[in-house]
Amino acid sequence: MKTFIEKIGILMLVGVLAIGFTNCKAVQNANNKQKGAVIGATGGAILGAIIGNNVGKGGHGELGAVIGGVIGGGAGVLIGNKMDKQAQKIEEEIPGAQVERVDNGIVVTFDESSGVYFDTNKYNINAGSEETLNKLIGVFREFPDTNILVVGHTDSVGDANYNMTLSKNRANAVTNYLTANSVSMSRVTTHWYGEEQPVADNATAEGRAKNRRVNIAIVPNEKMIEDAKKEAGQ
């Protein structure tokens, strides 16, 4: 894989999750908060990869609950092998995307240089983004035993409330495109954070471009987890 997230920060991130259950800005599907074990098998590292470096700001316990906890032992190895194959497939199909294997999950980051992007102050899916998302949908069809988390972000230009709404609309636009093209709604959860979680310096044009992004996290679903546990005798 192109990039691996160091796991040294997991314990710190878990501590953040323990105190942050009350202040997540927005969740599209509230009932998804109840299916943590179903949507994922990953820990704090994937949370940091999704929302950026400032994990401690604002509290994101609900997102952590959706993602769930790490699966270890032989089942974790089996799941990891399957997720490695899926990550490799995404890299092959979408060379411009940043693909990260984190614990038992995958984080795909799209920005203006990597295939899924939006015109200024717009949230419709343009033709270029459709082409990239169609390739990703093909991978989702090939690997059905996973769930998907879509997270929207903006740069800091403009009003913070406006940016929160813009990130919501962009994340929902991606989710709606996926579900309109044969990805089951039951697989997808959507979150948005506006300008709150930058991964680069908003003082530069290059940094702002990196912050205008949509992350897609792919995590094992309940079937994959249970099948792996049975195969591993856990």
What pLDDT digit, counting tens, does each position of 45-76 carry?
Answer: 666 667 655 443 444 444 554 566 667 789 88
CB–CB of 96/115 below 8 Å? yes
CB atoms within 10 A of CB 128: 11
Type of residue numbered 121: N
224 φ/ψ angles, rounded to the nearest 5 degrees: -60, -40
Name the burial class of residue 222, with classes exposed (0-12), middle (13-18) and buried (19+) by CB atoms within 10 angstroms of its CB. Answer: middle
What's the pLDDT at 210? 83
Percent of the chain with pLDDT over 70: 70
d(CA 146, CA 104): 11
Distances (CA, A) of 180 to 136, 137, 175, 207: 13, 11, 8, 32
Average model confidence (pLDDT) for the chain? 76
What's the pLDDT at 23? 33
In a domain, 37, yes or no: yes
In a domain, 4, yes or no: no
Domain span at residue 201 reads 9-228
d(CA 180, CA 65): 26
pLDDT band at 26, cuts 50/70/90? very low
In a domain, 233, yes or no: no
CB–CB of 154/129 below 8 Å? no
In a domain, 134, yes or no: yes
**How many structural domains compose the chain?**
1
> pTM of the full predicted structure?
0.74
What pLDDT digit, counting tens, does each position of 90-145 carry?
Answer: 999 998 888 988 878 898 988 777 778 887 788 999 888 899 999 999 999 999 99
In a domain, 151, yes or no: yes
In a domain, 171, yes or no: yes
Q: Where are the alpha helices (DSSP H) in 94-159?
A: 127-142
Domain holding 209: CATH number?
3.30.1330.60
What's the pLDDT at 184? 95
In a domain, 165, yes or no: yes
In a domain, 222, yes or no: yes
